[in-house]
C-alpha cells in the first residue's frame, strides 16, 4: 500500500513539478500512473522511493514514512527506475548478488529467485555476461529481476514496458496481476495506454504536476459519458488542461 498526501515538489524553487497531489494505492491493486512527458510522474516516483524529498506533504509505503523511516519503507518495496543503465562492467549475476547482499536475501532464496525470474524472462543464459553487452530490453529485465529479488510487497515501476519485447511485456503484466491477486500492490507509470487499459484496476492521470483524474477506467467512462477508449479520454483530459493553461 502507498499513501501520498498533499505532496508538492519544485526544482530550483520555481515551477512546481508536482503540485499538491494525493492518492492511495491499495493492497490487491495494479495502479497505473499516466501523463504526458514532463507531467511529474518520475518526480513523484522519486519521492515515493526516497530519491527526492518532497517540499511538503507526506508519503507512506506499507505504513512506513519514507522520510522518517526510510529503511523500513525501502525494505517493503522494489523499484524499477526509468533508466536501466547501471554498473555496466559488472556481470549480470554479480549485479544480482550485490542486490541480494544489500537486501540481505538468504542464499538459498536468492538462488531460487534468480533462477526462477531469469528463466521467466528468458535471461538465464546471459547471467554470466557483462551488463554492457546487454541490449536495452535485457537491462530492463535485469532491473526488474533485481527489484523483485527481496520479494517486496510493493512494486514501483517507472515505464517498465519500455524496450521489452512482446513476450517479456506479457510476462511482466502476468506477474503484476499475480502479485496484486496475492493481496500486494503494483504502482507503475506508463505511456502505453493500451497496457494501462488492460491491466490497471485504477489509474491516475497527471499533467503539469496536478492529478486530473483518479479512478477506474469505467469511472473515467462515466465521467466522460462515453464508451471511448482510454486513449481518447486521456487526450481529452490532457488537452482540456492544456487549453485552460494556455488562456491568458
Ligand X SMILES: Nc1ncnc2c1ncn2[C@@H]1O[C@H](COP(=O)(O)OP(=O)(O)OP(=O)(O)O)[C@@H](O)[C@H]1O
Binding footprint of ligand X on the chain (CB under 6 A) = 11, 17, 35, 37-43
Is residue 42 a contact point for Mg ion (CB under 5 A)? yes
Smallest separation (angstroms) from ligand X to the CB of 190? 9
Q: Choose the contact partner of 35 out of Mg ion, ligand X, none; CB within 5 to 8 A by kind.
A: ligand X
Residue 15 and residue 180 in contact, taking contact as beta carbons nearer than 8 Å: no
The long-range contacts involving 104-110, CB below 8 angstroms and separated by at least 24 positions, are 104/150, 105/149, 105/150, 105/151, 109/151, 110/149
Rounded to an integer, what distance in angstroms lies between the CA atom of residue 16 and that of residue 26? Answer: 26
Q: Considering the complex, state which of residue 17 and residue 123 has its C-beta at the smaller distance from ligand X.
A: 17
Which of positions 3-22 make contact with Mg ion (CB under 5 A)? none
Q: At what angle do helices 107-120 and 92-102 cross, to 10 degrees?
A: 140
Smallest separation (angstroms) from ligand X to the CB of 24? 20
Where residue 159 falls (left for φ over 0; alpha for ψ -120 to 50; beta otherwise) is left
Stretch that binds Mg ion, among 24-32, 41-49, 128-136, 137-145 (CB under 5 A): 41-49
Q: Considering the complex, state which of residue 41 and residue 150 has its C-beta at the smaller distance from ligand X.
A: 41
- Given the C-alpha cell 555476461, which residue does it identify? 129
Stretch that binds Mg ion, among 36-44, 106-114, 166-174, 220-228 (CB under 5 A): 36-44
User: Under the rule (CB under 5 A), what is the footprint of Mg ion?
Assistant: 41-42
Amino acid at each position: 500500500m502507498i499513501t501520498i498526501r498533499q505532496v508538492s515538489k519544485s526544482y530550483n524553487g520555481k515551477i512546481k513539478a508536482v503540485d499538491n497531489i494525493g492518492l492511495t494505492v491499495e493492497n490487491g491493486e495494479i495502479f497505473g500512473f499516466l501523463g504526458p512527458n514532463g507531467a511529474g510522474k518520475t518526480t513523484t516516483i522519486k519521492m515515493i522511493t526516497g530519491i527526492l524529498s518532497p517540499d511538503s506533504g507526506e508519503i507512506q509505503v506499507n505504513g512506513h514514512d519514507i522520510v522518517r523511516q526510510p529503511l523500513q519503507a525501502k525494505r517493503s518495496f522494489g523499484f524499477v527506475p526509468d533508466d536501466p543503465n547501471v554498473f555496466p562492467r559488472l556481470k549480470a549475476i554479480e549485479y544480482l548478488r550485490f542486490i541480494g547482499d544489500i537486501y540481505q536475501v538468504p542464499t538459498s532464496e536468492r538462488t531460487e529467485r534468480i533462477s526462477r525470474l531469469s528463466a521467466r524472462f528468458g535471461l538465464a543464459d546471459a547471467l554470466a555476461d557483462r551488463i554492457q553487452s546487454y541490449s536495452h530490453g535485457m537491462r530492463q529485465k535485469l532491473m526488474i529481476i533485481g527489484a523483485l529479488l527481496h520479494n517486496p510487497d510493493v512494486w514501483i515501476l517507472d515505464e517498465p514496458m519500455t524496450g521489452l519485447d512482446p513476450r517479456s511485456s506479457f510476462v511482466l503484466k502476468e506477474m503484476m496481476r499475480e502479485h496484486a491477486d496475492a493481496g500486494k500492490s503494483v504502482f507503475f507509470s506508463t505511456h502505453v495506454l493500451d497496457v494501462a487499459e488492460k491491466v490497471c484496476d485504477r489509474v491516475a492521470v497527471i499533467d503539469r504536476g496536478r492529478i486530473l483524474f483518479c479512478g477506474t477506467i469505467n469511472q473515467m467512462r462515466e465521467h466522460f459519458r462515453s464508451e471511448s477508449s482510454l486513449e481518447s479520454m486521456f487526450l481529452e483530459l490532457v488537452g482540456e488542461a492544456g487549453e485552460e493553461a494556455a488562456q491568458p
